[in-house]
Structure 1
Amino acid sequence: MEVPAERVEPKVEAAYRALGERVSLPGFRKGRVPRALLEQRFRGQVREDVIRALIPESYLEALRETHLEPLGDPRVEEVSFAEGEPLRYRAVVDVKPPLAVKDYSGVPVSRKEVTVTDEEVEALLQQLRERAAEYVPMEGWPALKEDLVILDYQGT
């Protein structure tokens, strides 16, 4: 993929401008460091910032143009970038394969007959009732067989 130099340069300018506003070097007030000095000291950082900003932006744009459906994040390889030049890189990604549905009207389908008894239905309903049950405190009543009982005791 290639990002034209006309799109790269404004990002480079913006990165140096933002860096110049927050960097203070000895002998210069904050925000007053000359661009040449910023380039000398922070070229690598600016390069990384520009690459980090432009690759996702151009990758998403390429996906929109090609109508590809990726199955994950891309693996970015072979990044080549120098000031005044286009940004070039290669994005490797797995894509969703095209799926063509063929005529399936002649495919035989067998249906299995299932019988359900009233006892099975009642057992399933009872399981659902027990799973959705809410326990509320009931003091002063004798505990029944299915009740949940919480005891506090001390041994001596």
Structure 2
Amino acid sequence: MKPETLVMKIIEAIETASPTVITYNGKKISITKKLIDKYKYCKVRDDIDLERIDDNAKEVKAANAKKAADGKAAEERRHNLIMEKEAKSSGVGDMIGTIKEFGKRFGEETKKTVKQGLNKLVDSIDTGEIKVKHKGNGIFL
């Protein structure tokens, strides 16, 4: 229902002095006898600009939609910055390829224990076969 229709229904209820319930955007508005008695001596101006009321309602809706979109974009950007910061400091980007290689080493050595596999890895680091990079708190192979 348009705002001007709501205004017209309220005016009609007051002029006819009949209590009624008007539903506007899913909300029920009760026009009671007490409310009618309170405003029955008020005169309705003929110069009420119902189109202006409708235009203002549209502007408010557009402004609220823009605020919601801006808020959502800011939250998404903030979340992305946090995730990028975590990925940079933890070395996740550099580790993705090496984790697969690390898993293959242990997959090939099925009969050896994890301790023996780690000892072999430490030995290959000591001999220079595998290079180690230090970045922040992470160690990269």
TM bin, normalised by shorter chain, reads under 0.3
More helix by share: 2
Structure number with bigger Rg: 2
Normalised by the size of structure 1, how large is the TM-score?
A: 0.21
**Relative contact order: is structure 1 or structure 2 higher (C-alpha 8 Å, sep ≥ 6)?**
1
